[in-house]
Amino acid sequence: MNRVDQFSETIVKGYSFKGESVVLGGAMLDAQAIEGLQIKAPLSMFSRHGLIAGATGSGKTKTLQTLAEKLSLQGVSVLMMDIKGDLSGLSQPGTPHAKIQERHQKIGTAWKPESFPVEFLSLSGEKGIRLRATISEFGPVLLSKILGLNDTQQGLVSLVFKYCDDRGLPLLDIKDFRAVLQYITGQGKTEVQQEYGLISSSSVGTVLRKLLEIEQQGADLFFGERSFDVDDLVRLDDGGKGFISILRLVDIQAKPKLFSTFMLCLLAEIYEKFPERGDTAQPELVIFIDEAHLVFQEATKALLDQIESVIKLIRSKGVGVFFCTQNPNDIPEAVLGQLGMKIQHALRAFTTNDRKNIKQVAENYPLSPFYKVDQTITELGIGEAFVTLLNEKGIPAPLVHCLLCAPQSRMDVITDVEMEQHLKNSRLIHKYNDNFDRESAFEMLQQKINLARQAEENQKPSPEKETGRGKQQASTFETVMKSPVTNTIIREVTRGLLGVLGFSSNTRRRRR
């Protein structure tokens, strides 16, 4: 058996599955596509998470786009983090091209232009459905981890939540939380210390500064109402396609703390709300996180531990998470070890450190008798990648050089006019974008402070009463001073003093 036949036999055996699967592309050997030898991924394994890595310009974004399309066609909902603004084209059909047809002929699949059901979401000022969450939904533990607080400061945050729970004060946004902190160290200090214990002013100052830090990154837009319901991420259109929710994050790259805060909140909310599903024929939701290094860039150890725990557990809810980044080393090892599907685009070796990194990256993939991985990884063309994944038994499939399918939707951004029209037709835009600010802790405490001040004012005597009382006292004094008894007392006291000094009234008369 020659080398090509051995290769074909290995790939057919490693990438044949009983259940539903999606075609990723065609197998390649010695930089040549083996016509009709397809690389497929079992649909059930998309909940085992994945990695898409590669240098800038190697085709990662188009791979994201293609995977989202394949899943949508199978009735799987998708959530995508669009950092560069490249994914809006999913809402419009693609444009036929000779090179696309040639590529798919080699792969052995048909290609036709197609649009997909899309919802545009926003965390900030970008156009789209507003995503929000309340402070109360975060809870004291998660909020403390995001703020990077120590045990003492975390205790203070727990005290704030307890105080608000006991008194029915809703914590919706940052101004609510700040108002409570200021109140319990001001007007309400005595009340709080009697019931809950002493409060450290230095801890309060630290928490207030940490709040200001995340507020400056745009968290004031994220915290509040109306809270986004994660069930709205899992929907099908009238044709049975899964909705692709695109979170527009073009202006978020300078705000990594807000991004990691949102991601942890979202994953925690999905894990808490989605029912337990176990191993199923297909996932309920697949999340693609582009530029994933932003999630981990400024994350504290506590935050990283939380993300690792969620990634380990969330697949039981039928949710898969795919991280997309330039280098696999951007992902912490504890998380990287949980990623069952890996799609590695080209890496470029321009320096000695680049070559060392490539050798290290190559060690993340299974050994193959058909490729020199550390060399081939630098020679991959655009739209080509090394692929390895888990089969239906959870066993890693052989590493293969793959010519990836092209997206069926537009491989470019949509226009402003198209965006406005799309948002106008959205079923969710009015649910989440209408202004909604109900009475919460800030307003309730302000009202309480105002009532206390008014009560103090009512207890003070008025200026008119004070003046009348002064006149009455003056009148009484004059009456007493003019009485005969008073005059006699004053005269006798004066005589006594003169006697003490050696004078007498008789002596004074004689000298005159």
Q: Which amino acid is at 140?
A: P
Residues 225, 437 contacting (CB under 8 angstroms): yes
Q: How far is CA 93 from CA 104, 173, 412, 439, 499, in A?
A: 17, 40, 10, 45, 121
CA-wise closest residue to 123 among 271, 236, 257: 257
**Residues above pLDDT 70, as percent of the chain:** 87
CA-wise closest residue to 181 among 166, 472, 202: 202
Domain ranges of the chain: 3-131+228-427, 135-224+438-453, 463-511
Quote the CA–CA distance of 308 and 459 in Å, as a whole number: 59
Query: How high does pLDDT run on average in the chain?
Result: 84
Query: Which structure tokens are listed for 354?
Result: 């680049």
pLDDT digit string, tens, across residues 350-389:
888 888 889 988 888 888 999 999 999 999 999 999 999 9
Say yes or no to pLDDT of 236 above 50: yes
Residues 127, 419 contacting (CB under 8 angstroms): yes
The pLDDT value given to residue 477:
47
Nearest 5°: CA angle at 404, between 399 and 408? 150
Say yes or no to pLDDT of 486 above 70: no
- Three-state DSSP class for 436? coil
pLDDT digit string, tens, across residues 255-292:
776 777 777 788 888 888 999 987 888 999 999 988 88
Q: Which amino acid is at 68?
A: A
Say yes or no to pLDDT of 240 above 80: yes
DSSP 8-state secondary structure symbol assigned to residue 229: -
Question: Can you tell me the mean pLDDT for 210-227?
Answer: 84
- Three-state DSSP class for 23? strand
Main-chain dihedrals φ then ψ at residue 118, nearest 5 degrees: -130, 140
Say yes or no to pLDDT of 436 above 60: yes
pLDDT digit string, tens, across residues 88-128:
999 999 999 999 999 999 999 999 999 999 999 988 777 89
Quote the CA–CA distance of 208 and 221 in Å, as a whole number: 17
Please give the model's pTM, rounded to 2 decimal places: 0.81
Nearest 5°: CA angle at 418, between 251 and 103? 85
- Three-state DSSP class for 493? helix
Question: Can you tell me the mean pLDDT for 280-305?
Answer: 82
Quote the CA–CA distance of 358 and 349 in Å, as a whole number: 8
What is the DSSP track for 432-495?
HHS------HHHHHHHHHHHHHHHHHHHSPPHHHHHHHHHHHHHHHHHHHHSHHHHHHHHHHHH
Q: Are strands 384-388 and 400-404 parallel, antiparallel or unpaired?
A: antiparallel
- For residue 419, what are the contacts with CB-CB under 8 A and spacing of at least 6? 88, 120, 127
CA 482 from chain center: how many Å? 84
CATH class in words for 3-131+228-427: alpha beta
